[in-house]
C-alpha cells in the first residue's frame, strides 16, 4: 500500500517539484532572473501600454455622458481614491495611486497564469518587495504626520516586534495564497492528463480555474490594498485631544 | 523495549516527513472554524441591519483573509516538508 502511493507520487507528481519554486532562466554571475520576474516585466509592460492607449483614446475624449469604458475607469479610480480618502485623510493623494498600482500589479500578475506564464507573485521576492513598500510608507508617513511624537511608539519593544511582523506576514500571505492556487491548478492539470474521456479534460480545468485563480487574484489584491491603508491609518492616527480645563471654568462663571 | 524504540526511530526517519506534513495541514481546522464563525456572524448582522450590507461585506472579506492566512502558513509548511526536506 505504502509503495503503491509512493510510486503514484513519484511517477506523476515528480514534475510538481520543479514548479513550486521559480527556476532561473538567465544567470549572469550573481545576477539571476527567474521566470516569475520575466512574467512581472511582461505584465508591467502590458499594463503601461494599456494605460497609454486609454490615455490617448478614452481620456482625451472625456464626455459628460459617459461610455461604458469611461464608467469602468471612473469606478475603478474612485473606488481606491474613496477608500484612501476615508482611511488616510491628508495623504490620500499618495496612498490612492499606490494602492491602485499595487492591486493592479498583483491582480494582473496572477491572471498571467491563465496565459501559461508562471504568476509574477509566485516568487517570494516580488511579495517581499510589495510588503517592503508598504512598510516604508507606514513608517515615513507616521513620522511626517506625528513628527517627534512618533518616537514614543518605538519605546515599547512589543511595538517594534509588531512592526517587523507586518511585512513578513504580508509577504507570506500573498506568496502562500498565490502559490497554493498555482500548485492546486498544476496538480489538476496532471490529474486531468490521465482522464482520457472526450470532453472532461477540457471542462474540469475550465470550471476550476475561476475558483483557484480568478478568485484569489481579486481577493488578494483587495486585501493587500486595504491592509496597507489600515496600517497607514493606524500609524498616522493622532491621540485624542484632552478636554480643556478653561471650558469648565467658563461654564461655572456663567452659572 | 529497545527493539520498539529502534523500530519507532526508523519509522520516524523514513516516514517522519509525511507525518509532519499531515500534522501541518491540521491548521485548516482552526481556520475553518474561524471562517465559519465570521461568516455566521456576518449573516446575523446582515439580517439585523440589511442597509449595512456593504460595510459588513468588506469587513467580512478582511477577516476571512486574516483567518485564511494561518491555513496558508500550514499549507506552505507542509509543501516545504514534502518537496524540499
Q: Mean pLDDT throughout A79-95?
A: 86
How many residues in total does chain B contain? 85
Domain limits for position B17: 2-83
More confident residue, A81 or A4: A81
Given a cut of 70, is residue A249 above it in pLDDT? no
Rounded mean pLDDT of chain A?
82
Which residues in chain A have their CB less than 8 angstroms from residue B79's CB?
20, 179-180, 183
- pLDDT at residue B11 above 90? no
pLDDT at residue number A250: 55
User: Where does the pLDDT of residue B14 fall: very low under 50, low under 70, confident under 90, or very high at 90 and above?
Assistant: confident
Q: What is the pLDDT of residue A1?
A: 41
Model confidence at B9: pLDDT above 90: no
**Looking at per-residue confidence, does A243 or A175 come out higher?**
A175
**Of the partner residues B62, B72, B79, the one whose CB lies closest to the CB of residue A177:** B72
Grid coordinates given for A182: 498555482
Do B30 and B80 contact (CB within 8 A), yes or no?
A: no
pLDDT at A6: 53
Kindly determine whether residue A169 and residue B69, on different chains, have CB atoms separated by under 8 Å.
Answer: yes
A242 CA to chain B: closest CA distance, Å?
Answer: 30
Distance CA A166, CA A176 (A): 15
Cα of A9 vs its chain's centroid, Å? 33
Interchain CB distance below 8 Å, B72 and A172: yes
Contacts of A124 in chain B (CB under 8 A): none
* B61, B68, B79 member nearest A183 (Cβ): B79
Q: Which residue has the higher pLDDT, B19 or A25?
A: B19
> What gap in Å lies between CA A170 and CA A227, rounded to an integer?
9
d(CA A57, CA A67): 12
Whether the CB-CB separation of A216 and A181 falls below 8 Å is answered with yes
A137 near A95, Cβ under 8 Å? yes
Residue A10 to residues A3, A19, A55: CA-CA distances in angstroms? 10, 15, 52
Query: A32 has which bridge partners?
Result: A27
CA distance A190 to A178: 19
End-to-end CA distance of chain B: 30
Q: Look up cell 518616537; give the residue.
A: A151
Which cell numbers in the block locate residue A161?
516586534
pLDDT of residue A133: 92
A223/B72 Cβ within 8 A: no
The set of cell numbers assigned to A34 is 527567474
Binary contact (B79, A179; C-beta < 8 A): yes
* Burial (Cβ within 10 Å: 0-12, 13-18, ≥19) of residue A73: middle
Please give the distance of CA A174 from its chain centroid, rounded to a whole number: 7
Q: Tens digit of pLDDT for each residue in A123-142?
A: 888 899 999 999 999 989 88
Express each pLDDT in B25-59 by its tens digit: 899 899 999 999 999 999 999 999 999 888 888 88
In this structure, the number of other CB atoms found within 10 A of the CB of residue A143 comes to 16
Helix (H, G, I), strand (E, B) or coil at A29: coil
Question: Rounded distance, CA A61 to CA A84, Å?
Answer: 27
Specify whether the backbone of A49 is left (phi greater than 0), alpha (psi in -120 to 50) or beta. alpha
Reported residue count of chain A is: 255
Structural domain total, chain B: 1
* Per-residue model confidence as pLDDT tens digits over B52-82: 888 888 888 888 888 888 888 888 888 888 7
A197 versus B9: the higher-pLDDT residue is B9
Tens of pLDDT along A169-222? 889 888 888 888 888 888 888 777 776 666 777 788 888 887 778 887 888 888
DSSP A30: T
Whether residue A255 is predicted with pLDDT greater than 90 in this model: the reply is: no
CA distance B36 to B46: 15
Is A5 an 8 Å CB contact of chain B?
A: no
Query: Does the CA dihedral A166-A172-A175-A176 come out positive or negative?
Result: negative
pLDDT tens-digit map of A38-76: 888 999 999 999 999 988 888 787 888 878 888 898 999
A28 DSSP β-pair partners: A31
Distance from CA of B83 to the nearest CA of A (A): 6
For residues B68 and A223, the answer to whether their CB atoms sit within 8 Å is no
Q: Inform me whether the pLDDT recorded for A29 exceeds 60.
A: yes
Chain A CA closest to residue B18? A6
Categorize the per-residue pLDDT at A239 as very low, low, confident or very high, splitting at 50, 70 and 90.
confident
The DSSP string of A103-172 is HHHHHHHHHGGGGTSPPTTSSHHHHHHHHHHHHHHHHHHHHHHHGGGGHHHHHSHHHHHHHHHHHHHHHH
Q: Cα(A81)–Cα(A126) distance, rounded to whole angstroms?
A: 24
Question: What span, in angstroms and rounded, lies between the C-alpha atoms of A200 and A207?
Answer: 11
> Any chain A CB within 8 A of the CB of B72?
yes
Q: What is the pLDDT of residue A28?
A: 81
Task: Provide the ipTM.
Answer: 0.72
Whichever domain contains B78, its CATH number is 1.20.20.10
Amino acid at each position: 500500500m505504502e509503495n503503491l502511493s509512493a510510486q503514484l507520487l513519484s511517477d506523476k507528481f515528480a514534475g510538481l517539484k520543479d514548479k513550486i519554486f521559480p527556476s532561473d532562466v538567465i544567470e549572469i554571475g550573481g545576477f539571476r532572473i527567474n521566470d516569475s520576474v520575466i512574467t512581472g516585466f511582461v505584465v508591467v509592460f502590458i499594463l503601461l501600454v494599456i494605460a497609454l492607449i486609454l490615455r490617448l483614446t478614452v481620456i482625451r475624449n472625456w464626455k459628460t455622458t459617459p461610455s461604458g469604458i469611461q464608467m469602468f475607469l471612473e469606478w475603478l479610480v474612485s473606488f481606491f481614491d474613496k477608500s484612501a480618502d476615508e482611511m488616510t485623510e491628508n495623504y490620500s493623494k499618495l496612498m490612492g495611486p499606490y494602492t491602485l498600482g499595487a492591486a493592479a500589479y498583483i491582480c494582473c500578475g496572477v491572471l498571467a497564469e491563465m496565459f501559461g506564464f508562471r504568476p509574477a507573485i509566485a516568487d517570494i521576492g516580488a511579495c517581499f518587495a510589495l510588503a517592503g513598500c508598504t512598510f516604508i510608507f507606514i513608517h515615513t508617513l507616521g513620522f511626517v504626520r506625528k513628527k517627534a511624537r512618533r518616537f514614543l511608539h518605538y519605546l515599547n519593544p512589543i511595538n517594534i516586534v509588531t512592526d517587523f511582523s507586518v511585512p513578513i506576514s504580508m509577504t507570506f500571505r500573498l506568496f502562500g495564497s498565490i502559490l497554493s492556487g498555482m500548485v492546486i491548478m498544476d496538480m489538476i492539470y496532471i490529474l486531468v492528463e490521465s482522464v482520457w474521456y472526450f470532453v472532461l479534460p477540457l471542462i474540469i480545468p475550465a470550471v476550476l480555474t475561476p475558483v483557484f485563480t480568478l478568485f484569489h487574484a481579486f481577493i488578494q489584491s483587495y486585501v493587500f490594498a486595504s491592509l496597507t491603508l489600515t496600517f497607514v491609518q493606524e500609524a498616522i492616527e493622532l491621540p485624542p485631544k484632552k478636554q480643556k480645563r478653561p471650558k469648565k471654568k467658563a461654564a461655572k462663571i456663567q452659572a | 523495549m529497545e527493539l520498539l524504540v529502534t523500530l519507532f526511530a526508523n519509522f520516524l526517519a523514513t516516514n517522519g516527513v509525511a507525518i509532519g506534513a499531515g500534522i501541518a495541514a491540521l491548521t485548516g481546522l482552526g481556520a475553518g472554524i474561524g471562517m465559519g464563525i465570521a461568516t455566521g456572524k456576518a449573516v446575523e448582522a446582515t439580517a439585523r441591519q440589511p442597509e449595512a450590507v456593504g460595510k459588513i461585506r468588506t469587513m467580512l472579506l478582511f477577516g476571512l483573509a486574516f483567518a485564511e492566512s494561518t491555513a496558508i502558513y500550514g499549507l506552505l509548511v507542509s509543501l516545504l516538508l514534502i518537496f524540499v526536506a
